[in-house]
Amino acid sequence: MFRFFKLKKWILWSWLGSFLILSSLWVQVKIDVKINEWFGVFYDMIQKALAKPNAITIEEYWSSLASFITLAGMYIALYVAISFFTAHYLFRWRTAMVEWYHSVYDEAGKIEGASQRVQEDTIKFTRIMEGLGTSFIESVMVLIQFVPILLGLSIGIPIFFFGEWQYGLITGALLWTIGGTIFLIGLGWLLRLVGVEYDLQKKEAAYRKILVIAEDDNNVRPKTIDELFEDVRSIHFLSYVRYLYFNIGRMAYLQANVLSAYVFLAPAIVAGVVTLGVMQQIIRAFGRVEGSMQYLLKAWPTIIELASVYKRLREFESQINEKEIIDKKI
């Protein structure tokens, strides 16, 4: 799976491409920081305008909106460019994987489900990595940029439970996120979601294989096909029930999460020690920090699918290597 980073043929795409994606994501996060600063200035201006008629001019108002449009335009352009390049980057990664599978397919083709591994799982792997990989890197960069901002905005502000402790907001976000992460990881482990996903793909592969065999072999009985489809139906229904319980817990936590920043800021809002602009900056920065910390929570279903795909591809490559060793001995 990782020959993409080892082969000379792909050295420029793998390492230089990785650098371009990382640097572009860093610039994107820096633009997001500027947008967060804009929210503070804009909402302070709104508070000033609402408190006293004609306290600001219409030119100042339009100028502020134009600043946001400029920043948003830069963010969108960079986001589109990163997405386009990442798609090409990951297809090269898939190509490196597939080329090796093709080179050993005389032996690999004898392994059960080989066609599914080479075609379906490689494209699943790259598509999931396209969204999951960039999101993970961006989450780390957001933490690096927004944690100092949140610390600076928290100075002298009373926080629920933590008082005026400077690290109250960061600690609150961390505790809330860790608690939710442990809860959902524990729930996913209890429901055996990775195992169910793996079994589902395995039974689908067996069903697909018997259908292909039946096209050329009239001796395959309909009863055999029906039995395999019954296995597919059973594992799908089991998956639906398991994910029903998991999604109840996941969505309950994420909905409660909407109020978390307001709960921690309650003493400061009631005391009136923050302006509307500062409150918006804090809430947005808190949301970005919390959202990055909650990466595992929001991406958990996708992580489960990626783990299942990785497990199947690793198992497939192990079987190929075993066959090559046995053939050499023979």
Q: Which domain CATH number covers 186?
A: 1.20.1560.10
**Reported confidence tier of residue 329, pLDDT bands at 50, 70, 90:** very low
The label of the residue with tokens 């192990």 reads 318
Average pLDDT rounded to a whole number, residues 50-67: 90
Domain of 302?
3-329
Q: Is the dihedral of CA 158, 163, 168, 173 positive or negative?
A: negative
Residue 330, pLDDT > 50, answer no
As for how many domains the chain has, the answer is: 1
Element (H, E) at 282: helix 276-293
Q: Does the pLDDT at position 325 exceed 60? A: no
Distance between CA atoms of residues 88 and 37, nearest Å: 34
Give the pLDDT score at 315.
79
pLDDT recorded at residue 35: 92
Mean pLDDT of the chain: 82
Q: Find the helix or strand (DSSP H, E) in which 316 lies.
A: helix 295-329
Q: What does pTM read for this prediction? A: 0.69
Question: What pLDDT score was predicted for residue 217?
Answer: 64
CA distances from 246 to 182, 252, 295, 299 (A): 13, 10, 16, 13
pLDDT higher than threshold 50 for residue 6: yes
